[in-house]
């Protein structure tokens, strides 16, 4: 599957996008990313208690916010695209 | 007087008279300030059927009660007139430093009446207010005009002016202050130009009092702290600017491409986004008066065919010239956007009008001989050259200066204008963000994103996460957002404060500034009153009904998360009217008018 980083996540990961093997679900993916990239990534991805996706993490699976799918339990498959954004705004 | 100076300037440009009159405090109470208060003055004084570019139209500058008080991001003001692009009430909001300076000079607002027989500018140096000759400024760009006036009047003056496009009647020319801040939409610049009013230069040495200084300071500190702690208001906008939205809207399948023809995903979008801007062209970020968000971009393209410097582009301009024109060259997008500021025009409408011309040209509806070259999607030189042509009022630029609707109508395809009430919709596809579809259709100034900003809950998840693909619940949320943004525009603070602040924090600053004990709900009701008086004006002016371009209603998105979707306006509009207390035709009922104290406006 394809993994894309944007804005501050791109800075932390020093990577725009890459191919990875699909983990079981979004939660597994986020745990793996926190493990790989360390404390700064963990602090942005998770709530302070570590129990949920944090306020500053917008996770899209094939363009849909996981909040409107199955949240952190959203399953991932080969062929999916996951895009990770901080909270951003514009206009 | 608390939060207000209490004085309005009334300038008759034909008679060359300048009068000071007391601010109508009842209207200031009921309609808050800035957008709301200027609209109330305008509706009381101007026939809704006035020809927008005739002397009988008026042009009103108005600050809000929080402008210049030190309130969080409280440096904004409004320019109001009947809009030549849309025929609706025109209200355009700007930041920068001009608004506070006007208040410090001793004036809450300025009402310009009639038209001068020769170019003039208004000079305000505290008590000294004069109409001065502007022949030497006529034809000058926004940047040149600003520099010349500061050289003439003094370094501490703040300047609001029009560029050549305002003089030439371009229907989407704006009024720009501090060089780069724009009251941009609807053609306020053309109204100003029709009055031969080139600029207002102001210097003020006074101050603004607030009613309860200690409580106001507490509210202000609380608001600033919350903004600082919010991921968007604190660091997000400062680091990447508004252009950072490109990628998230694109990945959500909602970035309109090729005049909204080819779906909501632009494969080259990343090259045009805020990350690329920061990596390649950002010099520094900056902010407006009293603002800690600092979202503005000072940018420079150092070399190449599009070598240029300026501020921006903001997200909407980046999209209109980028994905919407199929252009992925960020340097060209920057230059086109800078040119819009220099010539004084709205880049959303111009980029969208060029995109419409590109589609019409590709299908053979616009002959190559009319444009002067082969116009196709994806051509970075075309967006820059056509922007120059509009700026200089040359060749095909004269046609583009009419906006997309009138241009497309000339060539037999008005349905390909991606506009609502003749104003171009901005950068969110309503087929993929259903609440935005309802927002565009019902906006009181035509296609617009800042009269509600449903993208915030639907894409960004602020303040709540709402599924963009469903229609349920959108009407009630939009009504709330429309009323709230009407209130915020009227307070004189920036809409970006909503990324950190809610009604309680905004209302607290207002209450302690003006000295009222109204509840938050009573204050929000003023936003609803403002929305309704704008609607009354539009009905009286004969503005067309609330709908969307046929492309959004009939052509489904081809791919992405919203594949197969059209804008389901019919599923939301009736509920929206009902929640507003309007009848099935969108007309406010007597009951609603009575509730809002607008019986005389009906």
Q: Could you read off the pLDDT of B263-275 as tens digits, one per residue? A: 999 999 999 999 9
Residue B301's pLDDT band (cuts 50, 70, 90)? very high
- B495 with B469, same domain: the answer is yes
- Tell me: pLDDT of B108 over 90: yes
Do B231 and A83 count as a contact with CB atoms less than 8 A apart? no
pLDDT at B7: 98
For residue B323, list chain A residues with Cβ-Cβ distance below 8 A: none
Q: What is the pLDDT of residue B600?
A: 85
Chain A partners of B243 at a C-beta cutoff of 8 Å? 90
State the average pLDDT for chain B.
97
User: DSSP string of B130-161?
Assistant: EEEE-TTTTT--HHHHHHHHHHHH-TT-EEEE
pLDDT of residue A88: 84
**Ramachandran area for residue B372 (φ above 0: left; ψ -120 to 50: alpha; else beta):** left
Q: Is the per-residue pLDDT at A86 higher than 80?
A: yes
As a whole number, mean pLDDT of residues B512-539 equals 98
Instruction: Please compute the mean of the pLDDT values over residues B9-18 and round it to a whole number.
Output: 98
Task: Determine, for residues B240 and A7 on separate chains, whether the beta-carbon distance falls below 8 Å.
Answer: yes
Question: Are B419 and B449 in a shared domain?
Answer: no
Same domain, B198 and B159: yes
Residue B444 sits in the same domain as residue B581:
yes
Q: Which helix (H) or strand (E) holds B89?
A: strand B89-94
Least Cα distance to B13 among B118, B123, B116 occurs for: B116
Residue ranges of B 212-231 with Cβ closer than 8 A to chain A: 231
Which of B231, B244, B459 lies nearest to residue A56, judging by beta carbons? B231
Contact yes or no for B275 and A6 at CB 8 A: yes
Q: Do B236 and A4 touch (CB under 8 A)?
A: no
CB spacing of B232 vs A65 below 8 angstroms: no
C-beta atoms of B314 and A7 within 8 A: no
**Cα–Cα distance for residue pair B266/B255, rounded to 1 Å:** 7
- Side by side, which strands form the sheet with B296-301? B282-286, B296-301, B308-311
Smallest Cβ distance to B243: which of A16, A63, A90?
Answer: A90
Task: Please name the residue of chain B whose CA is at the shortest distance from the CA of residue A3.
Answer: B251
Question: Of B184, B231, B268, B471, which to mutate for an interface test with A (greatest number of A Cβ within 10 Å)?
Answer: B231
The answer to whether B487 and B198 are in contact (CB under 8 A) is no
CATH number where B469 lies: 1.10.599.10
Tell me: do B287 and B379 sit in the same domain: yes
Same domain, B289 and B351: yes
Question: CA angle, corner B420, sides to B419 and B425, nearest 5?
Answer: 50
Residue B198 lies in a domain: yes
User: Looking at the partner chain, which of A7, A63, A88 has a beta carbon nearest the beta carbon of B460?
Assistant: A88
The DSSP code sequence of B184-206 is -SSSHHHHHHHTTEEEEEEE---
Instruction: Tell me if B231 and A91 make a contact (CB, 8 A cut-off).
Output: no
The CA distance from B216 to B208, in Å, is 13
* CB spacing of B231 vs A87 below 8 angstroms: yes
Q: Which residue of B has its CA nearest to A16?
A: B270
**B282 DSSP β-pair partners:** B299
Query: Most distant CA pair in chain A: distance in Å?
Result: 36
Which chain A residues contact residue B459 at CB under 8 A? 65
* Residue B10 φ/ψ, nearest 5 degrees: -115, 120
| Structure confidence by residue, pLDDT tens digits, B66-104 | 999 999 999 999 999 999 999 999 999 999 999 999 999
Residue B556 lies in a domain: yes
Q: At what angle do helices B34-45 and B520-540 cross, to 10 degrees?
A: 40
Strand blocks (E) in B279-360: 282-286, 296-301, 308-311
Matching residue, tokens 């950068």: B427
Confirm whether B225 is domain-assigned. Answer: no
The CATH number linked to B94 is 3.60.9.10
Q: Best residue in B247, B318, B434 to probe A by mutation, most A CBs within 10 Å?
A: B247
Q: Do B352 and B409 share a domain, yes or no?
A: yes
H or E element in which residue B177 lies: strand B175-177
> Topology of A2-86 in CATH?
Ubiquitin-like (UB roll) (3.10.20)
Kindly tell me if the per-residue pLDDT of B118 is higher than 90.
yes
Mind listing the pLDDT tens digit for each residue in B437-488?
Answer: 999 999 999 999 999 999 999 999 988 999 999 999 999 999 999 999 999 9
Residue B110 has phi, psi (to 5 degrees) of: -135, 130
Q: Is residue B226's pLDDT more than 90? A: yes
What is the per-residue pLDDT for B238? 87
Among residues 9-68 of chain A, which lie with CB inside 8 Å of chain B? 10, 16, 55-56, 58, 60, 62-65, 67-68
Per-residue pLDDT, A89: 81
> At which of B398, B423, B448 does a domain end?
B423
B558 and B460, same structural domain? yes
B235 contact partners, CB below 8 Å, separation of at least 6: none
Percent of chain B surpassing pLDDT 70: 100
Chain B touched by A7 (CB under 8 Å) = yes
Structural domain span for residue B177: 7-203
Contact status of A69 with chain B (Cβ, < 8 Å): no
Option in B244, B275, B467 nearest A68 (CB): B467
In 10 A of CB B21, how many CB atoms? 11
- Residue B1 is assigned to a structural domain of this protein: no
Q: Is the dihedral of CA B228, B184, B431, B454 positive or negative?
A: positive
B232/A89 touch (CB, cutoff 8 Å), yes or no: yes
Average pLDDT of the residues in B193-202: 98
* Structure confidence by residue, pLDDT tens digits, A48-76: 999 999 989 999 999 999 999 999 999 99
Specify the CATH number for the domain of residue B381: 1.10.569.10
Instruction: Say yes or no to pLDDT of B232 above 90.
Output: no
- Are A89 and B450 inside 8 Å of each other by CB? no
In DSSP notation, B211-222 reads SSHHHHHHHHHH
Nearest chain B residue to A54, by CA: B231
Nearest CA in chain A to B494: A91
Task: Mark whether B480 and B534 lie in a shared domain.
Answer: yes
CA distance A25 to chain B (A): 19
pLDDT at A90 over 80: no
Angle between helices B434-442 and B570-580 (to 10 degrees): 60
Residues in chain B within 8 Å Cβ distance of A7: 236, 239-240, 244, 247, 274-275
Asked which of B385, B402, B423 is the last residue of a domain, the reply is B423
Cβ contact, residue pair A67, B239, below 8 Å = no
Is B211 within the bounds of a domain? no
Mean pLDDT across B314-321: 97
Cα dihedral B505, B510, B512, B514, rounded to 10, equals: 180
How many percent of chain B have pLDDT more than 90? 96
Which residue out of A12, A52, A89, A91 would a mutagenesis test of the B interface target, given it has the greatest number of B Cβ atoms within 10 Å? A89
The verdict on residue B291 lying in a domain is yes
Residues of chain B contacting A8 with CB distance shorter than 8 Å: 236, 239
Count of structural domains, chain B = 3
Q: How close B558 gets to chain A, by Cα (Å)?
A: 14
Whether chain A has a CB inside 8 Å of the CB on B245: the answer is yes
Which of B236, B279, B465, B560 to substitute to test the interface with A, most A CBs within 10 Å? B236
**Average of pLDDT values for B147-162?**
98
Residue with token string 């309130």? B71
pLDDT tens across B345-402, in order? Answer: 999 999 999 999 999 999 999 999 999 999 999 999 999 999 999 999 999 999 999 9
Distance CA(B63)–CA(B108), nearest Å, equals 6
Give the pLDDT confidence of B394-443 residue by residue, as tens digits: 999 999 999 999 999 999 999 999 999 999 999 999 999 999 999 999 99
B336 assigned to some structural domain: yes
pLDDT for the residue numbered B247:
96
Contact (CB<8Å) B450/A4? no
On whether both B413 and B457 belong to a single domain, the answer is no
Same domain, B254 and B391: yes
* CB pairs < 8 Å spanning A and B: 99
Q: Is the pLDDT of residue B127 over 80?
A: yes
Q: What is the mean pLDDT of residues B557-581?
A: 97
**Which among B251, B270, B450 has the least Cβ separation from residue A60?**
B251
In terms of pTM, does the model score above 0.90?
yes
Instruction: Give mean pLDDT, residues B248-276.
Output: 97
Share of chain A above pLDDT 90, in %: 93
- Per-residue pLDDT, A83: 98
Out of B390, B423, B456, pick the residue that ends a domain. Answer: B423
For the stretch B32-43, pLDDT in tens is: 999 999 999 999
Q: Is there a contact between A91 and B316 if contact means CB atoms under 8 Å apart?
A: yes
Q: Is residue B224 part of a domain?
A: no
Could you read off the pLDDT of B478-522 as tens digits, one per residue? 999 999 999 999 999 999 999 899 999 999 999 999 999 999 999
- Written as one string, the DSSP assignment of A21-67 is ---SBHHHHHHHHHHHH-HHHHHHHB-TTSSSB-TT-EEEETTEEGG
Is B496 close to A58, i.e. CB distance below 8 A? no
Same domain, B147 and B56: yes
Distance from CA of B315 to the nearest CA of A (A): 6
Domain coordinates in residue numbering, chain A? 2-86
Per-residue H/E/C for B38-67? HHHHHHHHCCCCCCCCCCCCCEEEEECCCC
């Amino acid at each position: 599957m394809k993994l894309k980083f944007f804005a501050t996540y791109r800075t932390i990961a020093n990577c725009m996008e890459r191919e990875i093997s699909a983990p079981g679900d979004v939660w597994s993916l986020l745990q793996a990313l926190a493990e790989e990239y360390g404390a700064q990534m963990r602090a942005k991805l998770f709530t302070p208690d570590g129990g949920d996706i944090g306020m500053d993490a917008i996770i899209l699976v094939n363009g849909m916010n996981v909040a409107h799918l199955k949240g952190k339990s959203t399953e991932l498959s080969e062929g999916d695209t996951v895009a990770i954004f901080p909270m951003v705004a514009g206009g | 007087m608390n939060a207000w100076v209490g004085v309005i300037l009334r300038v008759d440009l034909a008679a060359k008279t300048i009068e000071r009159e007391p601010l109508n405090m009842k209207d200031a109470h009921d309609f808050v300030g800035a957008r709301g208060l200027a609209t109330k003055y305008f509706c009381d004084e101007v026939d809704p059927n006035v020809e927008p570019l005739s002397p009988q139209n008026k042009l009103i500058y108005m600050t809000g009660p929080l402008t210049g008080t030190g309130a969080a991001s409280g440096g904004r003001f409004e320019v109001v007139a009947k809009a030549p692009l849309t025929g609706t009430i025109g209200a355009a909001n700007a930041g920068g430093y001009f608004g506070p300076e006007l208040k410090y000079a001793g004036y809450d607002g300025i009402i310009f009446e009639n038209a001068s027989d020769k170019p003039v500018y208004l000079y305000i140096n505290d008590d000294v207010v004069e109409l001065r000759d502007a022949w030497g400024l006529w034809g000058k760009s926004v940047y040149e005009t600003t520099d010349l006036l500061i050289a003439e009047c003094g370094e501490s003056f703040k300047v609001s002016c029009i560029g050549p496009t305002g003089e030439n009647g371009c229907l989407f020319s704006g009024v720009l202050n501090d060089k780069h801040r724009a009251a941009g939409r609807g053609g306020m610049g053309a109204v100003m130009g029709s009055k031969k009013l080139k600029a207002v230069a102001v210097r003020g040495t006074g101050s603004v009092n607030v009613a309860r200084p200690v409580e106001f300071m507490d509210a202000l500190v609380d608001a600033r702290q919350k903004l600082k702690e919010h991921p968007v208001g604190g660091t997000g906008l400062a680091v990447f600017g508004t252009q950072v939205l490109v990628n998230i809207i694109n990945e959500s399948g909602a970035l309109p491409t090729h005049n909204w023809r080819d779906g909501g995903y632009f494969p080259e979008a990343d090259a045009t986004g805020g990350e690329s801007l920061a990596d390649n062209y950002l010099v520094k970020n900056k902010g407006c008066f009293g603002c800690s968000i600092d979202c503005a971009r000072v940018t420079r393209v150092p070399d190449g065919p599009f070598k240029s410097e300026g501020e921006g582009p903001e997200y909407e301009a980046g999209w209109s010239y980028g994905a919407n024109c199929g252009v992925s060259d960020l340097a060209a997008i920057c230059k086109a956007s800078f040119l819009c500021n220099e010539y004084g025009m709205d880049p959303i409408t111009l980029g969208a009008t060029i995109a419409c011309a590109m589609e019409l040209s590709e299908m053979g509806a616009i002959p190559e001989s009319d444009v002067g070259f082969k116009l196709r999607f994806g051509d970075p030189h075309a967006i820059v050259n056509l922007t120059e042509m509009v700026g200089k009022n040359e060749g095909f630029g004269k046609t583009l200066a009419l906006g997309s609707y009138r241009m497309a109508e000339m060539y037999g395809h008005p349905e390909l204008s991606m506009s609502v009430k003749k104003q171009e919709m901005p950068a969110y596809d309503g087929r993929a963000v259903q609440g935005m579809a309802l927002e565009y259709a019902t906006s009181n100034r035509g296609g617009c994103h800042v009269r509600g900003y449903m993208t915030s809950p639907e894409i960004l998840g602020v303040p709540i996460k709402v599924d963009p693909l469903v229609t349920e619940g959108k009407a009630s949320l939009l009504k709330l957002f429309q009323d709230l943004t009407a209130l915020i525009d009227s307070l004189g603070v920036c809409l970006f404060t909503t990324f950190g602040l809610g009604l309680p924090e905004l209302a607290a600053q207002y209450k302690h500034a003006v000295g009222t004990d109204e509840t938050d709900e009573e204050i929000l009701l003023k936003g609803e009153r403002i929305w309704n008086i704008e609607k009354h004006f539009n009905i009286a002016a004969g503005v067309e009904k609330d709908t969307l371009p046929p492309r959004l209603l009939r052509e489904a998105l081809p791919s992405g998360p919203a594949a197969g979707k059209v804008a389901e306006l019919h599923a939301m509009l009736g509920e929206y009217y009902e929640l507003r207390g309007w009848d099935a035709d969108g007309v406010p009922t007597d009951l609603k008018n009575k509730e809002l104290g607008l019986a005389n406006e009906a």
